[in-house]
Amino acid sequence: MVPENNEGGTSGLVVYADNLEYLRVMPDGIVDLIYIDPPFNTGKTQSRESIRTVRDEESGDRVGFQGQRYRTERIGNSSYDDRFDDYIAFLEPRLREAHRVLKPNGSFFLHVDYREVHYCKVLLDEIFGRASFINEIVWAYDYGARSKSRWSAKHDNILWYARDPSNFTFNYEEMDRIPYMAPGLVGKDKAARGKTPTDVWWHTIVPTSGKEKTGYATQKPRGILERIVKVHSNPGDLVLDFFAGSGTTGEAAAKNDRRYILVDNSAEAIRVTAKRLAPYSPQFKGCESIIPAA
């Protein structure tokens, strides 16, 4: 049930299961950090197409470095239906279990968007207590279509709750530094060091053609997860994500010497996650080929 530290790679579990059923059999108070990115209840089918580019000077549809032409090849598509008749009723039992499995000094992060964040906060205030709410982090990005009928929505919300608001992990020195917007006003040394982030995190989405891209719909950037993992847990701690998706939380944990448990009921998600974690956790090499088809 609980991954132990071992030599030759980071210890972790990737579980193909209904997350509520799995959470209900987990022991009390064993997890140091929980991050979840559940479906946002957009009412739409979320999809993402995977592509690769091949050098083709004759019929290439893209122009790259020094005018070289490339042909786009579509290699797959991932999608899921993001609709719930009662989103809060879906989340509530899972959030209550998350509170139960957290250690006394553990932290919980819920990643949602503007459609549901206010309802989720009221529910989390009830479960954790209002005093346990520490921050609402706004992840701001600048990508995609622009609305002509309202202000374009270009942010997500991440709610941070501590099991005990007087006792939680916060490794200030582990924060990544960001550039000053006006470096000439702060002096050479401070400008070189950079500043610590606020509760507004400017970070691009995962680039369509970037090396980080897995092709999984709604994949979140590893930079966001690494910031959370490094500041809110310590090496050897146990990190849980029970909406694992493409496995970003697991990679951020493994890359920074944390143990992890990832749960998802999508066979595609488990295959992508196992392949992604194989370089860090050798027990997953080849595992993506044995997950049953969805």
Instruction: With residue 238 as reference, give the H or E element that holds it.
Output: strand 238-241
Query: Which pLDDT score is estimated for 176?
Result: 94
Mean pLDDT for the stretch of residues 77-105: 81
Give residue-wise pLDDT tens across range 211-226.
Answer: 665 555 667 889 999 9
Mean pLDDT for the stretch of residues 8-17: 83
Give residue-wise pLDDT tens across range 31-44.
Answer: 999 999 998 654 54
pTM, to two decimals:
0.80
What residues form DSSP beta bridges with 240? 34, 261
Q: What is the DSSP letter of 225?
A: H
Residue in the structure block whose two tokens are 């899921």: 80
In which band, very low, low, confident or very high, does the pLDDT at 27 lie, cut at 50, 70 and 90? very high
Handedness of CA 230, 199, 107, 265 (dihedral sign): negative
Instruction: With residue 100 as reference, give the H or E element that holds it.
Output: helix 87-101
Query: Which pLDDT score is estimated for 103?
Result: 98
Q: Which residue has the higher pLDDT, 216 or 114?
A: 114
Please state, for a pLDDT cut of 90, what percent of the chain lies above it.
60
What residues form DSSP beta bridges with 47? 79
Say how far apart CA 79 and CA 77 lie, in whole Å: 7
Q: Are 245 and 269 in contact (CB under 8 A)?
A: yes
What residues form DSSP beta bridges with 12? 260
Query: Which pLDDT score is estimated for 101?
Result: 98
Say how far apart CA 257 and CA 238 lie, in whole Å: 10
Mean pLDDT for the stretch of residues 268-274: 91
